[in-house]
Amino acid sequence: MNDKRVLMETQALSKNFGSLAAVKDVSIQVFEGEIHAIIGPNGAGKTTFLNLLSGELPASNGVLHFDGRDVTGWSPDRLARAGMGRSFQHSSVFEDLSVRENVRLGAQTQFPKSFGLFRPAERYADVGARVAAVFGEVTLDSSVAARAGEISHGEQRQLEIAMLLAISPKLMLLDEPTSGMSRNETLELIGILRRISTKHTLVLVEHDMDVVFQLADRITVLVNGSVLASGPPASVRADSAVRTAYLGTE
């Protein structure tokens, strides 16, 4: 039992595509400051669920609460402004812009006065300072003039994290952040995520069980769009339904 605040909560959240129920009646709580992992077999509806949380998809049913407010039906940009950040299963970066510009666009959101029309973007010192700070936290190098479309897959994953750091959201929704990464890159990312989690709440969709059990404070298991179990790693591991449906069949 913890007395931490509930940062995000879903009640009976559902999504139907015609007659296909991709997400069924999912009710979970995410506590402030925790790392919450969502796992499940392929096709369990994890990414769809994440899309419901971040506003990319409208829910068919159910309620979403974030930071004390009912945010059901909010658009992605409104949710982002309210403090929700998102990384995507296939890296969604600005491929034809430079690595630095990617992060700068994120940083710019934190300084509303900087949306000017005539002063060059580079002259805004506070934005520049934030960009520098973000690059200090990841191993990505901002001085390389490469376009984001040209860097490696692992570097793109890192770039997405960097963009999230730039907007500094209360809640980060990360969709398979380590997918396609080498062993070393994964270890590196775990370190970064651990550091981030001291100041942010994380929700991770992950397939890599090592990552999950190293990082997660709590785990939710989704199978066929429904919650099979939700709680601390030890209890999820011990849950017999989970063992049969998922871990047991590996």
Partner 1 sequence: MRSVTVVAAAAIVAMLAAIPLFDSPYLTTHFTRILIYMIFAMSLDLLVGYCGLVSLGHAAFFGIAAYTTAVLSAKAGMANILIGLPLSMLAAAIGALIIGLLTLRTAGIYFIMATLAFAQMLHFLVNDSDFFGGSDGILLLTGFRATIGNIVLLDLGNAATRFYIVLVATVATFVGLALVARSPFGRILQGIKSNEQRMRALGYPVARYKLACFVIGGTLAGLAGHLYVTLTSLADPSILDWLHSAQVLMMVIIGGLGTLIGPAVGAFLLIELIDQSAELTEHWKLIVGVVVISVTLFARGGLVGLALALRTRMFGLRASA
Sites of contact with partner 1 (CB under 8 A): 54, 56, 75-77, 80-81, 85-86, 88, 92-98, 101, 104-106, 108-109, 114-122, 124, 127, 145, 147, 163, 167
Q: Output the smallest distance, CB 72 to partner 1, in A.
A: 18
Closer residue to partner 1 (CB): 24 or 130: 130
Rounded distance between C-alpha atoms, residue 163 and residue 168, angstroms: 9
The per-residue b/e assignment along 57-81, b for 16 or more CB within 10 angstroms, e otherwise, is bebeebebbbeeeebbebeeeebbe
Closer residue to partner 1 (CB): 63 or 80: 80
Closer residue to partner 1 (CB): 49 or 246: 49
Report whether 53 contacts 30 (CB < 8 A). no
Closer residue to partner 1 (CB): 116 or 191: 116
Q: Output the smallest distance, CB 166 to partner 1, in A.
A: 8
The per-residue b/e assignment along 31-53, b for 16 or more CB within 10 angstroms, e otherwise, is bebbbbbbbbeeebbbbbbbbbb
Q: Output the smallest distance, CB 241 to partner 1, in A.
A: 34
Question: Rounded to 5 degrees, what are φ and ψ at 230?
Answer: -155, 125
Q: Output the smallest distance, CB 146 to partner 1, in A.
A: 9
Q: Output the smallest distance, CB 96 to partner 1, in A.
A: 5
Closer residue to partner 1 (CB): 109 or 178: 109
Vertex 93: Cα angle to 142 and 31 (nearest 5): 95
Closer residue to partner 1 (CB): 96 or 141: 96
Q: Output the smallest distance, CB 111 to partner 1, in A.
A: 9
Report whether 215 contacts 37 (CB < 8 A). yes
Q: Which residue has the tokens 């994953």?
A: 157
Rounded distance between C-alpha atoms, residue 170 and residue 15, angstroms: 25
